Structure 1
Amino acid sequence: MKRMLGSRLERFVETCIDRRAWVAGIFFLVTAAMLLVATKVEVRTVFEDLLPRSHPYIQVHEQYKHAFGGSNVVSIVLEAEREDIFTTPFLSKIKQVTTALQQVDGANQFQIVSLASRKLKEIRGSTDAIDSNPLMWPDVPQDQAGIDKLKQAVLNNPLVYGAYVSRDLKSALVTVDFYENAADYNKIFPQVMSIADSARGDGVRVRVTGEPILYGWVKHFLPETLQIFLFTIGCLVLLLFLIARTWRGTLLPLLAGVGSAAWALGTARLLGFNLDPLVIVIAFLITARAISHAVQLVSRFDEELAAGALTTRAAAKASMLQLFKPGMLGVIADAGCMIVVVLTPIPLMHKVSIIGTVWVMTIAISACVMTPVLLSWVRYPRGYAHGLDLGRYLDRILDLCVRTATTRWRYAVLTATVAVFGVSAWYASRIQVGDAQPGSPILWQDSAYNRDAAAINQQFQGADRLYAVFSGTKPNAVKSPHVLESMAGLQRYMAAQPEIGGSMSIADVIPMVRRVLNENNPRYLEPGRTAEENGELMYMFVSGSDPGDMARFTDIQSKDASVTFFFRDHRGDSIRTAMARLKAYVDAHPLAEGTYRLAGGLVGVLAAVNEVILAGQIESIALALLVLVVCCAVAYRSMTAGIFFMVPVILSNTITFSYMAWKGIGMNLSTLPVAALGIGLGVDYAFYIVDGIKEKLAEGKDLTAATIASLHGAGRGVMVTALTLTTSVVLWCASSLRFQADMGVLMAIWLFVSAISALFIMPAMVLVFRPAFIVKTAEKLEADSVGDVPIRAIPEA
């Protein structure tokens, strides 16, 4: 069977090299076409791609978002730098901002709330009825008497004072919600920021926060991200040129990366997928894999020439034949680890998984096939492109690897590996699902957005919202005293959590109306004693209001009502604590009139995403490891091989996850696909080292000599790739997006640990444990070689 597979592989290699003009022509033609298509890929964030639609929280959010609020709320705060906000110029700016927001694309006109809107009202009692009038609409007070009257009305209204006017009276809040199906962040961001800029100055400071603004900043920094990406590629090319000292060792790996990128992005466009700006780091990671495979082939090509290959064509054949198996195994392992992300029920993850898998699979063509095909055209080398020889320094490192593996130091290496694994696995268990720090982890903590978010959360109840919906069994269920008392009790219970700055529900409105009706006597600040009385109080409030004013509290039938909570941060721990407390209260306080449904708003959406990731994280990692084990077991016909290759994978991932836990990098939508791909990333180098050992054993060397030869052969390719890629990705630390910088460091850690594992740990394990799939198959490998002759001696066709 193995002889037959070897014969087929040999025929495939012969065909590719002998018909190289056709192979290259077809490749470049398809690449040019796909590159043309790839230029039309849209780079944007689609909010609906972030939602796990099958989750019950999302279903509640989708059902009630237009009435009770969605997850695209933008908060704009105007701060008075000198006096309080109660001056005509300052109040005019509030009105200016409120009016301008009505013209922003996708804005929900019924969800624009501020002092200058019709939503915030003053409730007064008269001899005839309850009057409910807007606090400051349609006109701004022009005299001191009018301003003093407005100020007193604000101080007497608990739904406004502290919620839309800060306690120190120096800041005012304007909020606007956007229809999610019409929320185009690329349009919202510049329009809102233009409104904010127009209000700045004359002693007024303006702060802006919200998901549309956050992702608007991401798009704002996209040109910088692309510049860093291109600069990183440029540094990578320069490092390859310095170390490889040849144009073939520089340009062919770059061509492999560009080719795979063109095919993948072209496929994305043909499938109608957009490219989220935050997944550009994944693009670089996969491009790095293409470059890595190509570097291995070029290194093996140079080795064949040094060993006496008569022509570059023969050297290209030999290098392709020997490295096709480990190269394809690495590609399949990477693709298998990436495709398991599709099981996460989030549309963005589906897109990332599909495109990532396609991207990885294209490496089989762009690197494993095209690199040796193009190498076959290279002139027989007579020298180097420059005189700087860094190879001797690489040889010193490889000599250290050899000494470590072939002496008793290998036992120390394995002991240290076990110790590092134990410590890193323990610390990695601290990694958080969801955001680990206040503010957005996408941007640096000292960014303008995070500074604004921190200030808004300090001055007001909180910029992020979560609402639980009481769903009655019949109309008018909300009017029941038991329901209103339950809602008020839920608000008091949740207020004990420090991350929740405030809450709002119909249970706040009815007591206010009842108190006003009873000459503002605070003894009557409670719901009515019967459903009929509460109905009358609600009617009195509605009769003096505008259409839609009651919609943010309850529906028109008084059957469903929201209890909205304002959060000062959306860290994973804060959300999990809040959801656990909500569920505990609901379970402990059942109602005959209906039940509570969880949960809507941005925090509700994030709670759903975190729960999906928490459940899918373990599943994805376990399946990725299973894919890896199966690939190794099938390729080497040994389950031992699967377990053997898990060592560098688990070690690189536990160390990387430990770093994430240490630096407060949570597992979220952006980091999950990087983590899944990192599982495959940790094993590619090991494949080349082990296959190099097996090849040398087949040539008749003993195990020690074969290990030494493999380290000096395949190990050089590992060294070149690891040094160039690790050095290059560190440049991502200069990004204005903290996420890009963090992922650059994570990639550097993965690459470095994977290289160390392949160069130090794997040889030590081979020599200590002498696994059967390596040692006892040497004779079979020798029999599989063509005519029992070493591969490099195959004559050119």
Structure 2
Amino acid sequence: MMVNQKAHTGMPVVPNLEDFDKRSGGAFERLIFSHRKLVLFSCLFMTLVMGFFAAKLDVNASFERMIPVNNPYIQNYLQYKSELPGLGNTIRVVVSNKQGDIYDPEYLKTLEEVNDTLYLIPGIDRSWMRSLWMPIVRWREVTENGITGGAVMPSDYDGTESSIQSLKRNVDRAGLRGSLVASDESSSMIVAPLLDRNPNTGEPLDYGEFSQELENKIRSYESEKIGIHIVGFSKLVGDLIDGLQAVMLFFAVSVVIAALFVYLYTRCLRSTILLVSIAVIGVVWLLGLMQILGYSLDPYSILVPFLIFAIGLSHGTQKMNGVLQDIGRGTHKYVAARYTFRRLFLTGLTALLTNIVGFAVLAIIDIPVIRDLAITTSIGVFLLIFTKLILIPVSLSYIGVSKKAARIAIEKEKSDSQSSTWLGRVWAGLDKFTDRKFAIGAIFASVLITAISSVIMMDLKIGDLDPGAPELRPDSRYNLDNAYINENYGLSSDQFAVIMKTDPDGCRFYEPLKAMDKLAWQLRQTSGVQATDSLAERVRLMTSGMAEGSTKWFTISRDQAITNAAVDAAMISSPGVTNQDCSVTPLIAYLTDHKADTLTRVLNEVQGFAAENNTSQDAERPVEFLLAAGNAGIEAATNIEVRKGIVIMYFAVYGATALLCLLTFRSFGRAIRATVVAMVPLIMTTIICKALMVGLGIGLKVATLPVIAVGVGVGVDYALYLLGVQVAVQARGESLTVAYRRSLDFTGRVVALIGLTMAAGVVTWAWSPIKFQADMGILLTFMFLWNMIGALILIPALSHFLLNDSENLKPESGSVGASDSPGAADTSSQSHQKAVTQTSRMVVAD
């Protein structure tokens, strides 16, 4: 028979299924639970299908998807990309002689083999590949007869001493030390631009496969005598993809830790396995759908599967907690599942919709990889509506929880209510934050911490803060290779290219060349610039060479015939110095590094120069200096987009979150105040997180940008679950203290559990071989914990001033505590006991 007393949820205890009115509840609830087997079969079928497609998901990255393709600077690069060989996505292979210099027949033979092997790897743009063995690399010399030259590698090279001496002279005459030859002549470099697509398959170049080719075919030449050093975007991505195996291991560790924490909380093995399994199912659905929609998983979006798992686990644990408490009070498992669905579906749906919108607005940032992350994460969270809000309650209606676990949960709650356990004392301590004295103290401390963090975060840099590849550990093979190249080569691989655009043959005239020469001089005076290379500088050299090397002629001549001859000579000796019709001419600045400050200085210098010297198309000699090409120039444009997009993203994320919070709390006046209470901890967490990034030396860039949105997306769940119960209880006439205590009893434990579980899962990432994953692990650990602590402390403190008006509300008929005055609710042990034994029902349960 139905027990007349009401459970802590405000709903009747129904020990026998026959006593439950299956026609009760909303239409959607009845539809779901009337077709439970169909729901389970559909989810099983979906899991099998999505698992099949998930197994076929590619792991890759695209150079162009990492850059803001609609940025005007990047548009300039893409427009003239075919005419700017080597100024975008290139690979650099350095072959070193550990026991001597490059003028060793055995070394040169190995270098030739490496060169030929690299030449044949699919994806190499062979026409612009440069090395000592490529005829495109030429020398030039001024003689009494004018300028002569030829290929650096002698056409009759045969390994004899005389041919090696010829090579040595040609290297000197070509001025290759510091560029293609190391300053100490112990190694030489092969520079190979990459194609966007594999010419054999027509598919986008697979960087993971390409990197393996480099390891298997190029790195294999490494020996006691020969050293191989490889750098470039494709190799970096390849190393990150290789590191994904370790990432998957850490993901598995996170799942195990989550399962352990949930089990220690519930002490129910079967429901723990169910909860974790369904959380993993949500990830499988997402990966399968990504493959169907044509997405690939790249090293920068590896956060998405864990994020979906974590959000799913958070919502799932709330559902299981509700079922656990109902069964512990004697309710049948089927009825308990329906009660939980009835109470938490709307709040869970609102929280998930908030997550979807919060992540979707990341698409505002005009970087394809971020846009893909925004879309795929939003899709993944949408799938959780089915796996977490529907599948978990339906599954629990069949398996329920063990009687032992239910009994332990009730006993634990009773002991906590009497503050006889450490957790009970913690809950009692949190209750105090509803009092004015403690509320003022908590708010003051929060304001102080936020103010200090606001000052610190002003030093947050956009972009990289370290040389090499900050995504990898400083002692990684890639960064060691990069350090070797920087140490042994005078010109770094960080190239910032400015495009001079003129009319056809416009680069031959004095005015454009003089302007280019002036910009090159200004850049050489800029901190962080090692050297420059441009047509203007080569024209100076050629003009001097045609005048028997006289330094008086080391200039750009106003005599058009002389300048034409100098330009022709430069184009022959240095292919790529300008395009065929002399209308697109790059000026390359070699930077000491690609740190944010260096890029900003160079960018500002070029922008200022272009504003003063660009002329209109109506001018006699129109000239435009356009940004930007080269890996450093492209990164500078990306930093601009991140800087611009982060502000828009904040407004969009917080605006969307605030709007959905307003819709959650129905009374307009109360909704505004409740939204403020929910949003303040989130904003505070973002500010402190940025200050933490400054302290850890982490820049804000493509790899770290999603972490901010994750903090908001996960943090709002905590606030909605806590406030949902609190506001509902207050609306029935209870005091703030009683309402908040019921919120703690009903959802607070799970909020604390999930915060600790997710933090414990991601903190292990700090030991990942991929540094940016380690950075994300540290930042996410902080955000999960701080969001949880902020919600548990600041929600009652802020509620004291913004939501402490229950005395002005008329309690609903039959609501508990209707006869208790607010003051009594704060002090009476009887009222306090009610707060424990009668936790609130959600608004949707009324």
CA-CA distance at 1:295 after TM superposition: 0.8
Matches within 5 A, 1:34-49: 34-49=50-65
Q: Is residue 350 of structure 1 aligned with residue 366 of structure 2?
A: no
Cα distance in 2, alignment partners of residues 688 and 726 from structure 1: 19
Decide whether the 8 Å contact of 1:73 with 1:210 is kept in 2.
Answer: yes
Q: Is residue 258 of structure 1 aligned with residue 280 of structure 2?
A: yes
CA-CA distance at 1:775 after TM superposition: 7.2
Which residue does 1:373 correspond to in 2? Answer: 394
CA-CA distance at 1:380 after TM superposition: 6.3
Relative to structure 1, is the Cα distance of residues 298 and 627 closer, same or farther in structure 2, using a 3 angstrom cutoff?
same
Deviations 1:533-584 (A, max 9, x none): 1212333455xx5xxx654111222222111122332222222221111111
Matches within 5 A, 1:64-103: 64-69=80-85, 70-103=87-120
Which residue does 2:613 correspond to in 1? Answer: 589
Which residue does 1:3 correspond to in 2? Answer: none
Which residue does 1:447 correspond to in 2? Answer: 476
Which residue does 1:462 correspond to in 2? Answer: 492
Decide whether the 8 Å contact of 2:146 with 2:548 is kept in 1.
Answer: no
Partner amino acid, structure 2, of 1:527: I
Cα distance in 2, alignment partners of residues 73 and 781 from structure 1: 74
SS class of match (1:629): helix
Cα distance in 1, alignment partners of residues 662 and 808 from structure 2: 15
Does 280-289 or 381-390 show the bigger shift? 381-390
Q: Is residue 746 of structure 1 aligned with residue 779 of structure 2?
A: yes
Which residue does 1:4 correspond to in 2? Answer: none
Which residue does 1:197 correspond to in 2? Answer: 219
Which residue does 2:202 correspond to in 1? Answer: none
Decide whether the 8 Å contact of 2:279 with 2:312 is kept in 1.
Answer: yes
Decide whether the 8 Å contact of 1:309 with 1:315 is kept in 2.
Answer: no
Relative to structure 1, is the Cα distance of residues 198 and 738 closer, same or farther in structure 2, using a 3 angstrom cutoff?
same
Cα distance in 2, alignment partners of residues 381 and 195 from structure 1: 58
Partner amino acid, structure 1, of 2:301: V
Decide whether the 8 Å contact of 2:501 with 2:624 is kept in 1.
Answer: yes
- State the TM-score, normalizing by the size of structure 2: 0.86
CA-CA distance at 1:374 after TM superposition: 1.6
Which residue does 1:734 correspond to in 2? Answer: 767
Cα distance in 1, alignment partners of residues 102 and 742 from structure 2: 77
Q: Is residue 106 of structure 1 aligned with residue 123 of structure 2?
A: yes
Does 24-33 or 378-387 show the bigger shift? 378-387
Relative to structure 1, is the Cα distance of residues 462 and 776 closer, same or farther in structure 2, using a 3 angstrom cutoff?
farther
Decide whether the 8 Å contact of 1:245 with 1:386 is kept in 2.
Answer: no
Does 652-661 or 260-269 show the bigger shift? 260-269
Partner amino acid, structure 2, of 1:690: L
Cα distance in 1, alignment partners of residues 813 and 611 from structure 2: 65
Relative to structure 1, is the Cα distance of residues 791 and 752 closer, same or farther in structure 2, using a 3 angstrom cutoff?
closer
2:73 corresponds, among 36, 43, 57, to 57
Deviations 1:296-325 (A, max 9, x none): 11112222233x343122222222222223
Partner amino acid, structure 1, of 2:137: L
Cα distance in 1, alignment partners of residues 782 and 355 from structure 2: 17
Q: Is residue 154 of structure 1 aligned with residue 171 of structure 2?
A: yes
Matches within 5 A, 1:165-314: 165-182=181-198, 183-306=205-328, 308-314=329-335
Decide whether the 8 Å contact of 1:686 with 1:757 is kept in 2.
Answer: no
Cα distance in 1, alignment partners of residues 527 and 623 from structure 2: 29
Q: Is residue 676 of structure 1 aligned with residue 709 of structure 2?
A: yes
Cα distance in 2, alignment partners of residues 188 and 296 from structure 1: 45
Decide whether the 8 Å contact of 2:208 with 2:238 is kept in 1.
Answer: yes
Relative to structure 1, is the Cα distance of residues 689 and 127 closer, same or farther in structure 2, using a 3 angstrom cutoff?
closer
Cα distance in 1, alignment partners of residues 801 and 539 from structure 2: 77
CA-CA distance at 1:428 after TM superposition: 2.3
Matches within 5 A, 1:317-356: 317-356=338-377
CA-CA distance at 1:512 after TM superposition: 2.8
Decide whether the 8 Å contact of 1:434 with 1:572 is kept in 2.
Answer: yes
Partner amino acid, structure 2, of 1:54: N
Cα distance in 2, alignment partners of residues 403 and 541 from structure 1: 79
Relative to structure 1, is the Cα distance of residues 726 and 107 closer, same or farther in structure 2, using a 3 angstrom cutoff?
same
CA-CA distance at 1:57 after TM superposition: 1.6
Matches within 5 A, 1:468-547: 468-473=498-503, 475-540=504-569, 545=572
Relative to structure 1, is the Cα distance of residues 8 and 680 closer, same or farther in structure 2, using a 3 angstrom cutoff?
farther
SS class of match (1:107): coil
Cα distance in 1, alignment partners of residues 364 and 702 from structure 2: 13
Partner amino acid, structure 2, of 1:582: V
Structure 1 unaligned regions, length at least 5: 1-6
Relative to structure 1, is the Cα distance of residues 118 and 383 closer, same or farther in structure 2, using a 3 angstrom cutoff?
same
Q: Is residue 724 of structure 1 aligned with residue 757 of structure 2?
A: yes
Decide whether the 8 Å contact of 1:51 with 1:346 is kept in 2.
Answer: yes
Cα distance in 2, alignment partners of residues 731 and 781 from structure 1: 51
Relative to structure 1, is the Cα distance of residues 380 and 97 closer, same or farther in structure 2, using a 3 angstrom cutoff?
closer
Deviations 1:182-241 (A, max 9, x none): 443123212223344243224332211110110010111122221221122122212222
Decide whether the 8 Å contact of 2:508 with 2:563 is kept in 1.
Answer: yes
Relative to structure 1, is the Cα distance of residues 275 and 565 closer, same or farther in structure 2, using a 3 angstrom cutoff?
same
SS class of match (1:408): helix
Partner amino acid, structure 2, of 1:658: A
1:25 corresponds, among 41, 47, 53, to 41
Which residue does 2:694 correspond to in 1? Answer: 661
Does 619-628 or 500-509 show the bigger shift? 500-509
RMSD (Å), alpha carbons: 3.0
1:398 corresponds, among 422, 427, 432, to 427
Decide whether the 8 Å contact of 1:653 with 1:678 is kept in 2.
Answer: yes
SS class of match (1:110): helix
Cα distance in 2, alignment partners of residues 703 and 541 from structure 1: 81
Cα distance in 2, alignment partners of residues 791 and 13 from structure 1: 20
Relative to structure 1, is the Cα distance of residues 417 and 124 closer, same or farther in structure 2, using a 3 angstrom cutoff?
closer
CA-CA distance at 1:754 after TM superposition: 1.0
Partner amino acid, structure 1, of 2:760: T
Partner amino acid, structure 2, of 1:572: A
The number of equivalent residue pairs is 776
SS class of match (1:173): strand
Cα distance in 2, alignment partners of residues 540 and 552 from structure 1: 13
Deviations 1:561-620 (A, max 9, x none): 111122332222222221111111223334634221211122222222222221111101
SS class of match (2:404): coil
Partner amino acid, structure 2, of 1:756: I
CA-CA distance at 1:29 after TM superposition: 2.3
CA-CA distance at 1:64 after TM superposition: 2.5
Decide whether the 8 Å contact of 2:325 with 2:406 is kept in 1.
Answer: no
- State the TM-score, normalizing by the size of structure 1: 0.91
Decide whether the 8 Å contact of 2:540 with 2:556 is kept in 1.
Answer: yes
Does 263-272 or 613-622 show the bigger shift? 263-272
Structure 2 unaligned regions, length at least 5: 1-22, 199-204, 414-420, 616-620, 817-837
Cα distance in 2, alignment partners of residues 133 and 390 from structure 1: 86
Decide whether the 8 Å contact of 2:724 with 2:842 is kept in 1.
Answer: no
Partner amino acid, structure 1, of 2:486: N
Partner amino acid, structure 1, of 2:762: V
CA-CA distance at 1:779 after TM superposition: 3.9
Which residue does 1:609 correspond to in 2? Answer: 638
Which residue does 1:554 correspond to in 2? Answer: 578
SS class of match (2:80): helix
Cα distance in 1, alignment partners of residues 412 and 436 from structure 2: 26
SS class of match (1:354): helix
CA-CA distance at 1:688 after TM superposition: 1.3
SS class of match (1:40): coil
Partner amino acid, structure 1, of 2:654: L
Relative to structure 1, is the Cα distance of residues 193 and 148 closer, same or farther in structure 2, using a 3 angstrom cutoff?
same
